[in-house]
Structure 1
Amino acid sequence: MIKKFSHSLRMKITLIILILISILLLSIGILNNFGLPWFYQNEKVSEIKEAYIKIDDEVMKIGSSGQHIIDESSDKSVINERLKNIIMDYSNKYNITIALVDSFTNKAIYSSAREGDGLISRIQDGFIGNKYQNILYKNDNYAIILHQTMQKSSFIEGFGYCSDNQTIVIMSTPVASLKESVNISNRFLIYMAIIGFIITVIMTFVIAKMITQPILQLAEISNKMGKLDFTAKYNGNRSDEIQTLGQNMNFMSDRLKNAIEELQEANELLKEDIKRKEAIDEMRKDFIANVSHELKTPIALIQGYAEGLNEGLCEDEESRKYYAEVIMDESEKMNKMVKQLLTLSSLESGNSILHKENFNVTSLITSVLGSISILIGEKNVNIIFDSTKDIYMFADEFKIEEVITNYISNAIYHVKDFGEIKINVFYDSDSIIFSVFNTGKSIPEKDISNVWEKFFKVDKAHSRAYGGSGIGLSIVKAIVEAHNGSVAVKNISDGVEFSFKIPKA
């Protein structure tokens, strides 16, 4: 079974590589045979067009400056130097024969080759009276054709007038040598393809064997592991993925061996999990009972007052308004409790994402005090807070604001009239500590450890009066612990102090 797998994989690797090499060589041959002449022809057309534009521009410059293309003031006729340089540059660099012709005399003014008049005659044969012109490019002043002479020679030739309507520019470059070069190149590629194919077959077979041999060894090890024999190990010394696979199989073998020994321990853990599940079920039942209890009172009030409105017990407008306000107030309390439960659930499940940033805690406390200033005024409370020192914290500002608001609100609700609230925030050695103290009744010692539990209320009647649900401090604890911090509460002479501590960034 394993030998058959190895043989199959080796053949697949060999065939895939050979097919890819064959496709590559075939593509090169097709491109060389069909693409090279087309590319060469377009390049030559572009070179002739470029040469024509430069020559035309120079002829117009010469004419506009009052000069002549040919200077006949001396004993010899001399062509303008700049124009001559352009013609010779394209002639030498791109193998283009260029001639300038006077359209009035039909004689060559200047030619980059000796046979200027012969070139004119040949090109005119190609352009004039030839019904089978292979036009490669044409505009109002200039045309480029592929011209095949009676001697079966091929040229790319251009013929046209300069913008002065007197000077004719003719150009020619041979293409016969390209066809011969393409044929030679194709033959060379065929020979190289045959040799390369043979070498590729041999090399591919050797490489495939090198690849499949360690895979065969790994397959043998996996076969033994399937029979729970973990003594076989991979001992290769390579630096590739197969070495990584072998090391992973050795690691997996050790892990499987240890896993069998750990099954007994897992059974004990399973028993503990069952107990934990039972405890969670009990907590769920308690949670449902608490929620039901908290919702029962507002629902009963809403139902009672709604029935009173429905049965017409409120004959005057003021009574109806009072009934409606009670219904709205109780509905708001239920809505607030549901939102708090959702927030707490998100925090406890770890789904709440902290958006940490560096912010000024002092400014945040000042903002919170401003937002509840009306409530502070109603209680005639004296707030003591030093807002001059800036304390910076790296945390989720929105969630820390919720913690601070909860602490201060609780202090206001529980402070005695004309009492005092002290707010303090300061740096510790490695933390930032925030505390709120309010004068008033202390918390019974037996209840201090329970104030962070959901739905726990020290004074249920008082909590009901200001709309407390017993969830706020649970949310505070969850937020602070999400920041790797801790919460605390303690009785102080004539009051209670709540605090939290969060590590510095």
Structure 2
Amino acid sequence: MEDKKKIFGVKSIRTKLILIMIGMLGFTLAAIWFMNRIFLPAYYQHSKVSMLEKCYGSTNSIINNDSQYKSGESSTLSDESTLNLEILSENNTSNVYVFRLNNFFGKVYYQYDYPSENVITQYQKEDVIDKTKDYVIGIEDTQSFAVKDKKRQLMSLTDNYSVYKVMDERIGSYYIELFGKLDSGAFVYVSTNYQSMAENIGIFNSFLLYVGIGVIVFGVVIMVFIGNNFTKPIRQLTKIAQKMADFDFEIRYPVKSDDEIGALGSSINTLSENLEEKISELKTANNELKKDIEKKTQIDEMRKEFLSNVSHELKTPIALIQGYAEGLQDNINDDTESREFYCEVIIDEADKMNKMVKKLLTLNQIEFGNNQVSFEHFDIVQVLRSVINSALLLAEQKQAVITMDEHEPVYVWADEYMIEEVVTNYVSNAINHVDGEKKINVSLVKHDGVVRISVFNTGKCIPEDELDKIWIKFYKVDKARTREYGGSGIGLSIVKAIMESMNQKFGVINHDDGVEFWFELDTQN
């Protein structure tokens, strides 16, 4: 609702444009009305005076160009001059009279050259005499065209003519007249109607009001249409900006023009792409930071756990070594057999501690990337047989049998030393936990560019809820049995670290009669 108020309210650009247009039209109409009221009468009057002055000049030129009339060869104007004067009179909506004054026995007579004597009517003659008699008297008395009369208002005065605005009391309206002397010696009288400007201005302003209302209504409709087209891309860009504020950078503005809106849309699109890229980089960096924090936390936890587990695992052998060493020192048993037994226990426990420390160092190097993986192309079958041969003696002591089918050489890509460590841990783990039929089987299965190596031993299954825990350092499913063969719970952790360092799969599967440990290696480059 608030967005709609912004779109359709005073804050809307479209509404502002409409109000500005209405204001400009209203101001223009008011200005026109004021100009008409104040300046139009004076301009109209000036135009009329200028028109009469042009009529004088044109009449003088027409008479001067009539060579026969000017030289006195003819007492009347030529047909061409008469036609030109008629055209001049009609085009300027004025009455033009050209005449000469003759004085017979002290009385002035009018001799009309235009209109000619046979054309001008008696009414026209009387009207011309009535309107020019003051000028004629003035000519005879003062040789000037000045007329002192309250009914006449002087508009223009030169040596050749004078222009007056005259009130015609008979019809109750004004007219403008020019009386002057031509170069040929003839006189010219030109008159034109001067309408009441107050009435004309009122009519014009009324018409202007109606036209203005129509223009404003039509302009509002046009501006609504233009405003919609103008503000539509702006509203679209606003929505895009809002989406960007909500971290949604999928939407893009369709640039269809090369104007400012198109340039703004292109900039918004570029900004959206850059923001999306930068935010993606920030998220990646933030994710890496979280991983680093989690890794640091894990390292701290691993350190604490490591110290706790090592302390626990070393406590028993150290106590045994210390006890038996003190027994030797105190000569508890003087016979040779007892001393040898004490020494064997000390050596055995020290050997276990040594092996555990070595395994911990190996695991530490692998987990922290200090032991770099060196990929080689080698025969995994040969590695398996070598490990099996080394474990045969220990298997015989457990009365277990290790079997492996005959295989052609199978070449894999991996770190040979590390893979040998994995196989050794799997086989040793199988020997230590074999039971029942006491069978151990090592097998290979190739599929989809990899080979799966499995070590199966008969015996008890691992509880399902502990299958994921056996890969944790120092974790022991059967602690009594592990203590029996001297296990530390580190071997499978080493397997996990090695396989993860080479990005290979590994795992454990429970069967009805035993447990299968497996891992996979690439056979293709």
Tell me which interval the TM-score lies in, with the shorter structure as reference length: 0.3 to 0.5
Structure whose CA Rg is larger: 2
- With the length of structure 1 as denominator, give the TM-score of the two structures: 0.46
